[in-house]
Structure 1
Amino acid sequence: MSLPPLVPPPLLDNRPESVAQLFLARVEATPDRVAYRYPAPVDEHAADGAPGAEQWRSLTWGQAAERVTRIAAGLMAVGILPEERVAIASATRVEWILADLGIMCAGAAVTTVYPSTNADETAYILADSGSRAIVLEDEKQLEKVLSVLDQTPELKTVVVIDGAGAPEDAAVDVLSLAELEQRGAAHLKEHPDAVRDAVAAIRRDQLATLIYTSGTTGRPKGVRLVHDCWAYEAAAQTDTGLLTEEDVQYLWLPLSHVFGKTLTSGHIQLGNVTAVDGRIDRIIHNLPVIQPTYMAAAPRIFEKVYNGIAQKARAEGGAKYRIFLWAAQVARDYAKARQESAVATGTASVPFGLQLKHAIADKLVYAKIRAAFGGRIRACVSGSASLAPEIGFFFSGAGVHILEGYGLTETSAGSTVNPGEDYRVGTVGRPLPGTEVRIAEDGEILLRGPGVMRGYHNKPEQTAEVLEPDGWFHTGDIGELDKDGFLKITDRKKDMFKTSGGKYVAPSEVEGRFKAICPFVSNILVIGNGRNYCTALITLDEPAILQWAEGQGLGGKPYADVVTSERAHQLIDGFVQKLNADLQRWQTIKKFSILPRDLDVEHGELTPSLKVKRPVVERENADLIESMYAGAREA
């Protein structure tokens, strides 16, 4: 028998019809307040200019509105009509947000395309969505799109952010973003109210965004998210109280992904500052410059930070490494004690002796960790995959509060989130106001609310498989609700497997535990469906393992040689045995293989949001997997 739905708080009232309306209202309310900060090249001819130098610049809400309005009017000038699709293929940058808002303010709908998407799949997305125009980041993206024009018959206009103009033989109209804005300015002279009229005409259930899910097999599906999805997300995120007008957000997540996209809605509702730079290799450099108070990230980023801290301490050796290990355990014990006390009594308290240890560890270790995050971080939100609880407890005890949330592309990302200081590590929090959660008889999580999609584009049969007529969406995730309404994700329904001995294994649980104890791991896949025992495919973090190799007589050797060496296997085997000591017998890893390279997006093994595509990895390594079961007696 399924549990009754958790009764949500009253649905948020008085939200606007669209984020486009919300944006114009924000501009009118605070035109001179800084909206965005972004990196820009320093003029080489300036006094402090140097090749490659950058400086952070600002856009007020009023300045952003001028550009957004010109972009919207420019799209109208080239013939884009309400609800027609305009794609964006660019890395995260301030122009992505301006283009997105411009498209919505024109009454059109945005099709998101990852810049890493290959030409064939880009053509499919553009054709399936019926996109009439596309905004591209640079000439590399332009070359890709021009190569598939024969497969995208409805595409008529291409706009390039960093580009000089059209190739002479282009079969479509190619403009720079500056040229589009110039056309928009001219259009506004003749039709000064064109954009405001278009925004006023937007209906709540009008298509706003098509986001194509990264399918592990077959073609991706276009998720239809209407204007009310984003207006609801903006209001619900603000209602949680997690953010204030004074917060500085660091936004680097892919805006083609629903997690990054939904953050832009909440930002407009609040009117706080958002620093935008999607270059992952600049995160560590940017943090002390931006000094954010808030940042969202995928778990992989926190895992890499944790592994980097642990490996650095290990490399220093001796007393420093012992201090780190002691401080790491104190952090976990402190965070767990606070959480257990809060759950049991409603008050977070810690034994006096543990408080003293924590105070010492804070001066020796934790303060440096917080400084690495810029020194002002109040909270981080983690989503798109599960965060290993031991890593969550470590950062919590160190004063970097990681609030896990939960949602899918099909629910506009935000469905649940941990409630600020009352967060519980190991859960994804409570439902956002207006969202309902129900656990089905088989343990599957069902969601209902304004953030849920209106279906898959051009796929009514697949829509019917996951979306019930009364609005309940089948997530495909397995979970449970505790007595206080906190949701815990136990695994993906399709990822759980049963051994040949009849025992169920949740691979993400085992993988999360391993990531918490092994500072060298990058990715791990636990395998064992229908098998007599579990095995694992493991990849190692390149900087961490190469640093380790220096002290093992392997310095200077290529990554592939290091990770496939007997010494590396012995190193990882020690962590596997430590993992197995805390697992049920049927969960233990009997054999493992270290892959000669890490998983990546380019080879199709990771989604752009860094989630592992299990079927792809298992298929590519089928022979290796079989070798780990060779000669084994199957039950």
Structure 2
Amino acid sequence: MNRRAAPKANTAAHSAKGNSVSAHHPTPASALTLPQKLLAHTQEHPQRLAQRVKRKGVWRCYTWSDVFERTRSMALGAAAQGLQRGETAIVIGENEPEHYWALFAAQSLGAKTVSVYPDATVDELHYLCEDAQARFIFAQDQEQVDKALALLERLPDIRGIAYWDNSGMWSYRHPLLQSFDALTDEGRRQHERQPQRFEREIAAGHPDDLALLTYTSGTTSKPKGVMISHRWLMDNALRMSSALPIKPGMEYLSYTPLAWITEQLLGVTLGLTMPLVVSFPEGPDQVLPNLRELAPHIVLFGPRQWENIAATIEARMLAANWIARGIYRWGIRIGHDVHVARLEGRTAPWLSRLLLPLAEALVLHPLRDQFGFIRGKVAVSGGTAMAPDVFRLFHAMGVPLRNIYGCSEFGLIAGHRGERYDLETVGPLLDVDPAFGAPLESRIQDNGELLLRGGTGFLGYWGKPEKAAAIQRDGWYVSGDAVRKTGCGELVYLDRLEHLVQLASGHLYPPQFIETRLRFSPFIKDVMVLGDATRPWVGALINIDMAVTSRWAEERRIAFSTFTDLSQRPEVRQLVQGEIRRINKLLPEGSRVVRFANFPKELDPDEGELTRTRKLRREFLEVRYRALIDGLYAGAADIACEIAVTYQDGRQGVLRATVVATDIDQTPTP
């Protein structure tokens, strides 16, 4: 269905037979649960558009009444299989309406939910189910059902598995397994027998009930389940809406994984509280085409996704002819002169202001259209720090990209607000509605560590009180982040405190600062910066971007056969060397990268080298690539490596490669 054909708003009371809801009186957000907010929207504007999803090339729309009816049927169906208040339901799958409905359904019953990355392995899913004491699993499709069924012998407390995509499922038979159709049919029968039960279940909910567990990335230890209440979600959603120019009825494309707390805040919670029109792409590979087609008002990506889009833009320009490349550079320069100057409170040059309409017509408007930013009013980077160069590129394009800084435990902390903000910072502390507690306060320790208190605070880790106690001190949450504060009170994020490193020379250096700026290069996908108290200088291991670098090599008639071959070519090493030299100019001499090597294989989450959000698992990589790191610091030119690998078909093997180490101040040779 075309966007313009979406159902129109209708605020009349919903009165379809068998689908009525009781009278509603406005209640403060601080006193509501998510299902209670869903019920309120169904009462107030049942026929207003709530969600849409693209399937088989057609946009299918759902009103609030549709969402409520499906949520009710799923909830009562799951209750019939034994899901009870206080228990846990797992949801594993892509961002689709059914994923949202499953969350709402379980929470309506007073259960808490855990959204799982769809590419989680069986072992990862087993850990989450066991740790969260799961009793029910909502799964997307055959792939996820296979994972769930493989766990049943080890998890005897699972009472049911329901899947929403029937493809390939015709031959599956198991007493605990059923389709969403069967689940909702049972839910409708339950509703006919007890027409008031669902609303009673919703009414029994309390804002301090746990709504979900969101698991930490597990970069240094096993993931921990952060306890998130409905009150916590409402508090943080209001912090976000106070910082960003979000208005009711704005459109949002839900793409970032629901296992990420920021998506739970924006897509799920703000989707209910504002409310927003939440759309879902046809599939993970259709995000950018669907983004362009919808042109939503709100765009949320993690730093890596924004960096990837920036790298894609740069890569396309590199592949263009010299005329197109020149026009692009000119247009971006004009956009930078005007938009970034306005952002920084400067007056743009008069000639740039005069030429802006031409730059808009030739470069900036087509560029925004290409990536779906034409109607963008709110563009957010949520998570870790991102290079200011990336922000400046998007602002030059006319995309008002802002940073929101926070963590899973404490919630949203700081963010860019207003029309002017410093791109080198993550903004000032966010406002807290008094209904949710005291204003946010920060304290910076002598070692640069950020302490926080205010709002709903940190509720603890599921089943791990000792871990929670370790990061609380005299009423303050101990963030583990190293920051500094500007004279204007804005926070500058440096790195995780544990990642600020002192070299044997005595110099301190911020690995993430170097890594985020190097990742802005279209040729670099991942970076691992090296150096500690036993090493006298900074080194780096580079994971090249195969797609961009291979195209660059082909255009220059550089022969290669595999990723390993390409990564070690002298031309590619010289290319990476130039990118590192550019970043070295921003650093004090004692903190600059001295030597580097390119990884001989692409880093892969399935091999434990990255988390599901593509963060480096540093301790694992230090062990896995020990020979490469030792050779780099020993001054070796050629380093022999043997790396255990797992192929896509599941076979195990060993990659044997000779990796060439490169000095930054010397020209690479074959």
Give the TM-score normalised by structure 2: 0.85
Aligned to 2:645: none
Distance apart, 1:278 and its partner CA: 7.7
Of the three residues 431, 441, 449, the one matched with 1:444 is: 449
Of the three residues 551, 568, 574, the one matched with 2:555 is: 551
One-letter identity of the residue aligned with 2:294: I
Aligned to 1:463: 468
Distance in structure 1 (CA, Å) of the matches to 2:288 and 2:376 = 14
Aligned to 1:69: 72
Structure 2 vs 1, CA of residues 416 and 542 (structure 1 numbering), >3 Å: closer, same or farther?
same
Distance apart, 1:94 and its partner CA: 1.2
One-letter identity of the residue aligned with 1:496: L
Distance apart, 1:55 and its partner CA: 1.2
Contact 1:26-1:269 at 8 Å conserved across structures: no
Alignment of 1:258-277 (within 5 A): 258-263=261-266, 264-277=268-281
Does 194-203 or 482-491 show the bigger shift? Answer: 482-491
Distance in structure 2 (CA, Å) of the matches to 1:612 and 1:229 = 29
Distance in structure 1 (CA, Å) of the matches to 2:160 and 2:170 = 12
One-letter identity of the residue aligned with 2:499: D
Determine helix, strand or coil for the equivalent of 1:430. coil
Aligned to 2:416: 418
Contact 1:87-1:126 at 8 Å conserved across structures: yes
Of the three residues 46, 56, 60, the one matched with 1:31 is: 46
1:384 aligns with 2:383: yes
Distance in structure 1 (CA, Å) of the matches to 2:304 and 2:337 = 23
Aligned to 2:565: 561
One-letter identity of the residue aligned with 1:389: P
Alignment of 1:25-174 (within 5 A): 25-41=40-56, 54-163=57-166, 164=169, 167-168=172-173, 170=174, 173-174=176-177
Write the deviation string for residues 474-526 of structure 1: whole angstroms up to 9, x where unpaired.
2211113334442221111111101111111011112233234x331111121
1:191 aligns with 2:187: no
One-letter identity of the residue aligned with 2:497: K
Contact 1:522-1:598 at 8 Å conserved across structures: no
Determine helix, strand or coil for the equivalent of 2:536. coil
Give the TM-score normalised by structure 1: 0.89
Alignment of 1:283-322 (within 5 A): 283-322=287-326
Distance in structure 2 (CA, Å) of the matches to 1:211 and 1:166 = 34
Does 274-283 or 113-122 show the bigger shift? Answer: 274-283
Distance in structure 2 (CA, Å) of the matches to 1:351 and 1:269 = 42
Distance in structure 2 (CA, Å) of the matches to 1:282 and 1:243 = 25
Distance apart, 1:336 and its partner CA: 4.5
Structure 2 vs 1, CA of residues 616 and 335 (structure 1 numbering), >3 Å: closer, same or farther?
farther
Contact 2:386-2:517 at 8 Å conserved across structures: no
Of the three residues 605, 626, 631, the one matched with 2:630 is: 626
Distance in structure 1 (CA, Å) of the matches to 2:474 and 2:77 = 39
Alignment of 1:580-619 (within 5 A): 580-619=584-623
Structure 2 vs 1, CA of residues 607 and 468 (structure 1 numbering), >3 Å: closer, same or farther?
same
Write the deviation string for residues 433-492 of structure 1: whole angstroms up to 9, x where unpaired.
22514133122222334453411111111110113463x322211113334442221111
Aligned to 1:397: 396
Determine helix, strand or coil for the equivalent of 1:433. coil
1:236 aligns with 2:242: no
One-letter identity of the residue aligned with 2:78: L
Of the three residues 365, 368, 376, the one matched with 1:367 is: 365
Of the three residues 549, 566, 571, the one matched with 2:575 is: 571
Of the three residues 535, 538, 542, the one matched with 2:542 is: 538
Contact 1:253-1:278 at 8 Å conserved across structures: no
One-letter identity of the residue aligned with 2:245: L
Structure 2 vs 1, CA of residues 23 and 415 (structure 1 numbering), >3 Å: closer, same or farther?
farther
Distance in structure 2 (CA, Å) of the matches to 1:559 and 1:411 = 41
Determine helix, strand or coil for the equivalent of 2:208. coil
Determine helix, strand or coil for the equivalent of 1:410. coil
Distance in structure 2 (CA, Å) of the matches to 1:469 and 1:279 = 47
Of the three residues 159, 176, 179, the one matched with 1:176 is: 179
Structure 2 vs 1, CA of residues 357 and 443 (structure 1 numbering), >3 Å: closer, same or farther?
farther
Distance apart, 1:575 and its partner CA: 2.0
Structure 2 vs 1, CA of residues 453 and 161 (structure 1 numbering), >3 Å: closer, same or farther?
farther
Give the alignment's Cα RMSD to 1 decimal: 2.2
Structure 2 vs 1, CA of residues 407 and 187 (structure 1 numbering), >3 Å: closer, same or farther?
same
Determine helix, strand or coil for the equivalent of 1:490. strand
Contact 1:537-1:595 at 8 Å conserved across structures: yes
Does 454-463 or 439-448 show the bigger shift? Answer: 439-448
Of the three residues 36, 46, 49, the one matched with 1:21 is: 36
Determine helix, strand or coil for the equivalent of 1:112. strand
Contact 1:252-1:278 at 8 Å conserved across structures: no
Structure 2 vs 1, CA of residues 331 and 537 (structure 1 numbering), >3 Å: closer, same or farther?
farther
Distance in structure 2 (CA, Å) of the matches to 1:451 and 1:480 = 24
Of the three residues 341, 344, 350, the one matched with 1:352 is: 350
Q: Alignment identity in percent?
A: 27
Structure 2 vs 1, CA of residues 349 and 267 (structure 1 numbering), >3 Å: closer, same or farther?
farther
Distance in structure 2 (CA, Å) of the matches to 1:450 and 1:540 = 42
Distance apart, 1:165 and its partner CA: 7.0
Distance apart, 1:36 and its partner CA: 0.7
One-letter identity of the residue aligned with 1:23: L
Aligned to 1:9: none
Distance in structure 2 (CA, Å) of the matches to 1:323 and 1:483 = 39
Distance in structure 1 (CA, Å) of the matches to 2:355 and 2:449 = 42
One-letter identity of the residue aligned with 2:430: L
Write the deviation string for residues 295-340 of structure 1: whole angstroms up to 9, x where unpaired.
1001112212211221222222423333434444454454543333
Distance in structure 1 (CA, Å) of the matches to 2:423 and 2:197 = 49
Distance in structure 2 (CA, Å) of the matches to 1:140 and 1:466 = 37
Distance in structure 2 (CA, Å) of the matches to 1:364 and 1:618 = 47
Structure 2 vs 1, CA of residues 239 and 567 (structure 1 numbering), >3 Å: closer, same or farther?
closer
Write the deviation string for residues 260-282 of structure 1: whole angstroms up to 9, x where unpaired.
11111011111221112384421
Distance in structure 1 (CA, Å) of the matches to 2:429 and 2:187 = 41
Contact 2:112-2:211 at 8 Å conserved across structures: yes
One-letter identity of the residue aligned with 1:109: K
**Which has the higher relative contact order, 1 or 2, with Cα contacts under 8 A spaced 6 or more apart?**
1
One-letter identity of the residue aligned with 2:563: Y
Contact 2:444-2:484 at 8 Å conserved across structures: no
Distance in structure 2 (CA, Å) of the matches to 1:437 and 1:361 = 44
Distance apart, 1:289 and its partner CA: 1.3
Aligned to 2:510: 506
Gapped regions of structure 2 (runs ≥ 5) = 1-26, 433-438, 637-670
Moved >6 Å (runs of 4+): none
Distance in structure 2 (CA, Å) of the matches to 1:130 and 1:165 = 29
Contact 1:250-1:274 at 8 Å conserved across structures: yes
One-letter identity of the residue aligned with 2:504: S
Contact 2:596-2:632 at 8 Å conserved across structures: yes
Of the three residues 226, 229, 251, the one matched with 1:223 is: 226
Determine helix, strand or coil for the equivalent of 1:58. strand
Structure 2 vs 1, CA of residues 511 and 219 (structure 1 numbering), >3 Å: closer, same or farther?
closer
Determine helix, strand or coil for the equivalent of 1:21. helix
Determine helix, strand or coil for the equivalent of 1:132. strand
Distance in structure 2 (CA, Å) of the matches to 1:539 and 1:173 = 44
Gapped regions of structure 1 (runs ≥ 5) = 1-11, 42-53, 342-347
Distance in structure 2 (CA, Å) of the matches to 1:443 and 1:493 = 8
Distance in structure 2 (CA, Å) of the matches to 1:328 and 1:616 = 40
Distance in structure 1 (CA, Å) of the matches to 2:601 and 2:364 = 32
Contact 1:88-1:136 at 8 Å conserved across structures: yes
